[in-house]
Amino acid sequence: MKPAEFDYLGAESPDEALDALGRHGEDARVLAGGQSLMAMLNMRLASQQILIDIGRIEPWRYVRADGGVIEVGAGTTQAELLAWPDLAAKAPLLAKALPHVGHLQTRSRGTVCGSLCHADPSSELPLCLAVLGGEVVLKSAKGSRTLAAKDFQTGMLSTARKPDEIAVAARFPVARAGTGYAFEEVTRRHGDFAIVAVAAAVSGPSVRVAVGGVADRPMVREWTGLTEADMADALNGLAWEMGGFDDIHATARYRRELVRRIGARVIEEARTCRS
């Protein structure tokens, strides 16, 4: 478990990182917290000619609420976001989901944007971004663009990020009054990859629900005015549509069953905790 040889650049500024990435393109990989990337490099599942470390770029370490959006910089760790004093008030869903992201140790290194870019189908942060309808800000030496969550994650471990771009910030909408948020996941152990994770935002008759761990990316659905029976049918339809898959931890049928059962519970919890 020793990585193949690679070059390392500890970028000191945004420009240095973006310039280097512009030069190296696909030969480079951005290193933030390294909680997924280093393991893959050590196992030689991945190899890269150069790693560009953005961990010491201070201007990219921030959390700020501005104009209805919570913006989290590329260098901000999951632990820093969890410790942000306004989190429970402004982003109750993140406050509920973040403690399930890995462990204290991995959250203290792993970044919010890094998790979004890694795009693991079971991850909690892409799920939250998807259900909240958030955005990712991508920047290259040539310019910047902003993608909606649904356009950013294109599949398993895959995003629309171009080789010369860095995801410099994630934007989560601030919680709206009258909307309830809930999150639950089923794992074998605390901190494991979710077998199924469900997040919901419920406002009046409108239900927005996202499911992680079953398809190759979070699946989002928006339903309005459904009765309880309709809701059960809708979740059953969603479960069958995603299908699920068998692995050593769970069967496809179990995953579908959790979509129905946990889905109903999470939606109900979101409905009852509306502020």
Q: Which is nearer to another protein, 155 or 178 (CB)?
A: 155
Q: CB under 8 Å to 201, separation ≥6 — which residues?
A: 93, 131, 132, 179, 180, 181, 207, 208, 209, 270
Q: Please report how close the Cβ of residue 164 comes to another protein at its closest, in angstroms.
A: 16
CB nearer another protein, residue 78 or residue 159: 159
Closest distance to another protein from the beta carbon of 249 (Å): 7
CB–CB of 149/113 below 8 Å? no
Closest distance of CB 250 from another protein, Å = 4
Beta carbon nearer to another protein, 232 or 273: 232
Q: How far is the CB of 224 from another protein (least distance, A)?
A: 18
Nearest in space to 94 (alpha carbons), one of 133, 145, 129, 59: 129
Task: Select 63 or 113, whichever has its Cβ closest to another protein.
Answer: 113
Comparing CB distances to another protein, the nearer of 36 and 179 is 36
Q: How far apart are CA 275 and CA 180, in angstroms?
A: 6
| Residues of the shown chain interacting with another protein in the complex, contacts defined by CB under 8 A | 1-5, 29, 37, 40, 43-48, 118-119, 121-122, 155-158, 186, 188-193, 195, 215-216, 219, 233, 236-237, 240-241, 243-254, 256-258, 260-262, 265
Minimum CB–partner distance for residue 155 and another protein (Å): 6
Is the distance from CB of 90 to CB of 65 less than 8 angstroms? yes
Strand partners, 158: 155
Of the pair 53, 216, the CB lying nearest another protein is at: 216
Q: How far is the CB of 220 from another protein (least distance, A)?
A: 9
